[in-house]
């Protein structure tokens, strides 16, 4: 009887320890997600501060791009107003703002003087560094969210998650179609270069023997010519006597330094 009580007590203690360890791990993962999100939020605020200065610098050189500046300003205000929203809602706002910024940077390419402005180059460099840090923070945050959500769904940790109301966290994914789209690549005709004619095609039923014949004086066509195929049709006979006034069929052409064949 005493042994049974000891076993039961031991099992209860083991289950209690497992429960405490699993609960503490959930708390640790949730805090890690919150901390990684705060790091992203800091970089997002840094980008919000850079955008007005960048827009004013571009406006000085491209004042007629008014619709682009107004769209960037509107989406920035929308993103700032979504600070208390869920990560999914913040991601949607940030995706629209990133698209507007990209459109503005594309319009800058038409102004060489702006591209050489030191103030613009410095702001552009800081914005690029901020975007890189946001991307790195997003990967770290999403990795932590993935581990946390997996434990919420897996057994037996899902029992503890359901008992203590641990809910799944949302991912921070910026849906940018221009980045996700597959580039269209066309290599054109194989073996040809733009502006170069394709090689001539052989007539059907005629095979290439792989030999070339240099042009002789009096030939009608320039360049090198293919020798006619040899023995393509079974039973083909060549004349045993040379034709009058010409070389025998199949005889090689005259070489340099040799007299042409006269038939005598």
What pTM was estimated for this model as a whole?
0.63
Question: Would you state the pLDDT for residue 185?
Answer: 34
Question: Would you state the pLDDT for residue 13?
Answer: 93
pLDDT above 80: residue 179: no
Instruction: For the chain, give every domain's residue range.
Output: 1-164
Question: Would you state the pLDDT for residue 187?
Answer: 31
C-alpha to C-alpha distance for 82 and 79, rounded to whole angstroms: 5
Count the alpha carbons within 13 Å of 138 in the hemisphere toward its beta carbon.
Answer: 19
Question: Would you state the pLDDT for residue 42?
Answer: 93
- Average pLDDT of span 51-66: 87
Out of 64-73, 104-113, 248-257, pick the least confident.
Answer: 248-257
| Under 8 Å between Cβ of 244 and 264 | no
Question: Would you state the pLDDT for residue 235?
Answer: 46
Q: Please, what sign has the CA dihedral across residues 173, 174, 175, 176?
A: negative
- Average pLDDT of span 110-122: 86
| Under 8 Å between Cβ of 210 and 230 | no
CATH node for 1-164: 1.20.1440.20
C-alpha to C-alpha distance for 211 and 202, rounded to whole angstroms: 14
Token reading at 112: 């060489």
Question: Would you state the pLDDT for residue 226?
Answer: 47
């Amino acid at each position: 009887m005493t042994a049974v009580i000891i076993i039961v007590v031991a099992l209860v203690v083991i289950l209690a320890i497992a429960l405490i360890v699993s609960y503490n791990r959930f708390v640790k993962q949730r805090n890690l997600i919150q901390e990684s999100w705060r790091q992203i939020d800091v970089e997002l605020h840094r980008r919000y501060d850079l955008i007005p200065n960048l827009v004013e610098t571009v406006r000085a050189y491209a004042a007629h791009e008014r619709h682009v500046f107004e769209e960037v300003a509107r989406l920035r205000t929308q993103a700032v107003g979504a600070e208390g929203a869920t990560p999914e809602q913040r991601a949607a706002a940030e995706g629209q703002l990133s698209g507007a910024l990209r459109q503005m940077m594309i319009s800058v390419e038409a102004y060489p003087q702006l591209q050489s402005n030191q103030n613009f180059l410095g702001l552009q460099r800081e914005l690029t560094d901020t975007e890189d840090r946001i991307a790195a923070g997003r990967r770290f945050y999403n990795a932590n969210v993935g581990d946390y959500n997996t434990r919420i769904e897996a057994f037996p940790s899902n029992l503890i998650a359901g008992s203590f109301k641990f809910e799944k966290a949302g991912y921070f994914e910026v849906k940018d179609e221009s980045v996700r789209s597959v580039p269209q690549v066309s290599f054109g005709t194989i073996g040809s270069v733009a502006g170069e004619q394709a090689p001539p095609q052989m007539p059907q039923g005629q095979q290439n023997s792989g030999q070339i014949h240099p042009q002789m004086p009096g030939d009608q066509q320039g360049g090198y010519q293919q020798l006619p195929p040899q023995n393509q049709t079974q039973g083909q006979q060549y004349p045993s006597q040379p034709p009058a006034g010409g070389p025998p069929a199949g005889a090689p052409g005259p070489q340099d330094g040799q007299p042409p064949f006269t038939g005598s």
